[in-house]
Structures are given as C-alpha cells and as structure tokens.
Copies of this chain bind each other. A is one copy, B any other.
Amino acid sequence: MTKIQSRHGFQSCSDCPIKYRAVCSKCDADELGLLENIKYYRSFDAGQPILFSGDPLQFVASVVSGVATMTQTLPDGRIQMVGLLLPSDFIGRPGREIVSYDVTATSDVTLCCFRRHPFEQLIATTPHIGQRLLEMSLDELDVAREWMMLLGRKTAREKITSLLALIARRNAALVQHPLSDGMSFELPISRETMANYLGLTIETVSRQMTALKREGLITMAGNRGVAVPDLAALMLETGDDADGTALL
C-alpha cells in the first residue's frame, strides 16, 4: 500500500521545508503532535485571494511555499502593500476576530493552516509557540520599520534599488550562495506589485528600471530576470550605508 503523494510534495512536519524557521520551529515532538491535530494544508493558485479584510478570521497559517502579499486599500482604491509573505512567514493574528488585511497569492501558494481557536489555546499552554511567534513578530517589526524609512524618505531610484538589493540578498540566502558580482535572480513579483510595495506607480517603477538598465547597473532577461554586474554599485544607489545592512 503506497502513500499518496500530496500536491505540495510532502506528508508531515518532519519533511516540512520550513520546519527550521516557521512558527513551529521551537516545538518538540509532543508539541508538534498537538499542532498536527489542528492543521491542514491549503493551496492557492497565483492571483487568488487568500483572506479578505473584514472577514472573520477562521485560521492562521504558515506559508510553506510560494509568495503572497498583504495589502491595504483606501476607499478610493489606492493600494499599499504592508507585508510580503514568503515561505515560513506567518499569516493571521491570534486574538483577532476579524481579518485586517487583504492577503493574495502572488504565485502558487501552499499554506499550513491551523484553526484559530485551538491555535490560540496552544499559545497559552505551550510556551514554545508563543516564544517563536514573539521572535517572528519582533523581526517583522524591524522589517516594517526599514520599510517605513523607504516609503517616507527614499527617492524612486533608491526605492527600486533597495528592493532589488533585498531580493538579491534573500535569493542568495535561499540558494546558499554569497552575494557576488554577476549574480542573477528572478523577480518574484510584477511591476504592479513592486509599485504597491514601494508606494510608487507602475510607470515610475518601469522608468526607473529602464534607467538602471541604461546605466548598466542591471541587465535584464525578459521582464523578470535580473543580473547585477556590480553589486556594490547598485548598493550605492540605495541611500543606505555601504554595507547595506539596512534592509534586513
């Protein structure tokens, strides 16, 4: 009797690709067992909504794979991204009845969901979950604050180069390669999503990308492929310190 391979390609917590970083990463075997009782996987196609602001919050979740965005919308339709959700990131807020933000899948996404009420009780009873969630929340706060600096004070060009540097850095970490000149990566998000991240319009994003191309700071392969011949030169344009410690 063979096991049926699930859509996301793994079965249990022990195989989970995000087990070292997710909200459950500090849990021992017993605690993981409790979590398994209340968890289930859900998948979303690229472009699909995951949560709507204002709806009741039924579950919290970890992003297992894919990219999702948290956005807020003003009554007249202006959109600002307030969170970029990557594998191991946490969705939802324990103790909150109502969803506060729109969450949308930007690529195909797999979530590890926990029903909210049981999860809240686990937080109260098993310290490791709450501790990890605290760590993650404090990290997110730091990210949010860097982002506020970007939104409030940086120029369009600095915003774009900061984002490129962020993606390059994250990509390097993911592939376990150090940052290096000539490195290349795929943009995980569209121009529109970039614009909503940076507090710019699509057109301004496009123009700045073109300018960076023209000046040789980046080269592009299609709309999503980016190569960086001289990393230090790109970092210089972010407005941050040379070492680029700033954005994460």
A152 and B199 form a contact (CB under 8 A): yes
A141 touches B144 (CB 8 A): yes
Residues of B contacting A130 in the complex (Cβ-Cβ under 8 angstroms): 127, 130-131, 134
Within 8 A of B (CB), among A145-162: 145-149, 151-154
Does the CB pair A82–B149 fall under 8 Å?
yes
Q: Pick the residue among B74, B199, B240 that contacts A75 (CB under 8 A).
A: B240
Binds B, one of A11-19, A93-101, A164-172: A93-101
Q: Which of B95, B144, B199, B241 contacts A144 (CB 8 A)?
A: B144
Residues of B within 8 A of A80 (CB): 148-149, 152-153
The answer to whether B145 touches A101, judged by C-beta atoms less than 8 angstroms apart, is yes
Could you tell me the distance between the alpha carbons of A198 and B93 in the complex, rounded to whole angstroms? 26
CB A241 to nearest CB in B, in angstroms, measures 6
A86, CB-defined interface residue at 8 Å: no
Is A72 a contact partner of B127 (Cβ separation < 8 A)? no
Q: Which residues of B contact A100 (CB under 8 A)?
A: 142, 145
What is the minimal beta-carbon distance from A189 to any residue of chain B, in angstroms? Answer: 15
| Interface membership of A135, Cβ < 8 A | yes
Interface residues as binary, A53-93 with B (CB distance below 8 Å gives 1, 0 otherwise): 00000000000000000101011101110110000000001
How many copies of the polypeptide does the oligomer hold? 2
Q: Which residues of B contact A137 (CB under 8 A)?
A: 134, 137-138, 141
Contact residues of A between 97 and 151, Cβ < 8 Å to B: 100-101, 123-124, 127, 130-131, 133-135, 137-138, 140-142, 144-149, 151
Judge if A229 is at the interface, Cβ distance under 8 Å.
Answer: no
Give the shortest distance, in Å, between A38 (CB) and chain B (any CB): 19
Q: How far is the CA of A127 from the CA of B75 in the complex (A)?
A: 40
Are B149 and A72 neighbours in the complex by a CB distance under 8 Å?
yes
Q: Enumerate chain B residues within 8 angstroms of A79, measured Cβ to Cβ.
A: 153
B151 adjacent to A95 (CB under 8 Å): no
Interchain CB contact under 8 A, B93 and A148: no
Q: When the two chains form their complex, are residues A74 and B134 in contact, meaning their CB atoms are under 8 A apart?
A: no
Q: Are B145 and A74 interface neighbours, CB within 8 A? A: no
- Chain A: residues with CB nearer than 8 A to chain B? 70, 72, 74-76, 78-80, 82-83, 93-95, 100-101, 123-124, 127, 130-131, 133-135, 137-138, 140-142, 144-149, 151-154, 198-199, 239-241
- 8 A/B residue pairs, CB under 8 Å, sorted by A: A70-B145, A72-B146, A78-B239, A82-B149, A93-B138, A100-B142, A123-B131, A147-B148
